[in-house]
Structure 1
Amino acid sequence: MTNKDNTTAVEQSFELQKIYHKKSTFDAPNAPAVFLDEWKPSISVDLNTEANRISDTTYEVVLTVKCKAKATNSDTQLFNTTVEQAGIFEIEGYEETEIMALVGSYCPAQLYPFARNHISSQVLHGGFPQLLLAPVDFDALLDDAIKSADQESQGSETNDTDDEVEVI
Structure 2
Amino acid sequence: MAENQNTAPAQEENGPQFAIQRIYLKDASLEMPHAPQIFLLQDAPEISIQVDVEQTKLADAEDLFEVVVRGTVTAKSKANGQEQTVFLVECKQAGIFFIHNIPQEHLPMILGITCPAAIYPYLRSNVSDLLTRAGMPPVYMGEIDFQAMFAQRVQQEAMQAQAAQAAEANTVNGTGTAQ
Where on the TM-score scale, by shorter chain, does this alignment land: which range?
A: 0.7 to 0.9
Q: Aligned partner of 2:112: which letter?
A: G
Whether the 8 Å contact between 1:10 and 1:93 is mirrored in structure 2 is yes
Q: Which of 116, 134, 142 is the equivalent residue of 2:150?
A: 142
Q: Which residue of 2 aligns with 1:163?
A: none
2:34 to 7, 19, 30: 30
| Partner Cα separation in structure 2 for residue 84 and residue 18 of structure 1 | 14
Equivalence for 2:120: 112
- 2:57 corresponds to: 53
Question: Aligned-pair distance for 1:62?
Answer: 1.0
Quick check: which one's helix share is greater? 2
Q: How do 1:63-102 residues align onto structure 2 when only pairs under 5 Å count?
A: 63-71=69-77, 74-102=82-110
Letter in 2 for 1:62: V
TM-score after normalising by structure 2: 0.80
State the secondary structure of the residue aligned to 1:24: strand
In structure 2, relative to structure 1, the CA distance for the partners of 1:141 and 1:72 (3 Å cut) is farther
How far did residue 10 of structure 1 move?
3.2
Q: 1:39 to 1:131 in 2, by over 3 A?
A: farther
Instruction: Choose from 19, 23, 27 the match for 1:19.
Output: 23
Measured in 1, the distance between the counterparts of 2:112 and 2:78 equals 33
Residue 69 of structure 1 aligns with an amino acid whose one-letter code is: A
Structure 1 runs (4+) deviating above 4 angstroms are: none
Structure 1 vs Structure 2 CA RMSD: 1.8
Instruction: Please report how far the alpha carbon of residue 50 of structure 1 lies from its aligned counterpart in structure 2 after TM superposition.
Output: 1.3
**Deviation of 1:72 (Å):** 5.2
Q: Which runs of 5+ in 1 are unaligned?
A: 1-8, 161-168
Q: Select which of 136, 154, 164 maps to 2:162.
A: 154
- What amino acid maps onto 2:161 in structure 1? S
Q: TM-score, normalised by structure 1?
A: 0.85
AA aligned to 1:110 is A
Percent of residue pairs bearing the same amino acid type: 26
AA in 2 matched with 1:106: T
Deviation at 1:156, TM superposition (A): 1.2
- Equivalent residues of 1:108, 1:138 under 8 A apart: yes
- Count of residues paired in the alignment: 153
- 1:103 corresponding residue in structure 2: 111
**138-147 or 9-18, which moves further after superposition?**
9-18
Q: Counterpart of 2:77 in structure 1: which amino acid? A: A
Write out per-residue CA displacement over residues 112-147 of structure 1, whole angstroms, 9 at most, x where no aligned residue. Answer: 100000000111111111211111011100000000
What's the CA shift string for 1:80-137, capped at 9, x where partnerless?
Answer: 1111111110001112221111111110111110000000011111111121111101
Answer yes or no: is the 8 Å Cα contact 1:12–1:94 preserved in 2.
yes
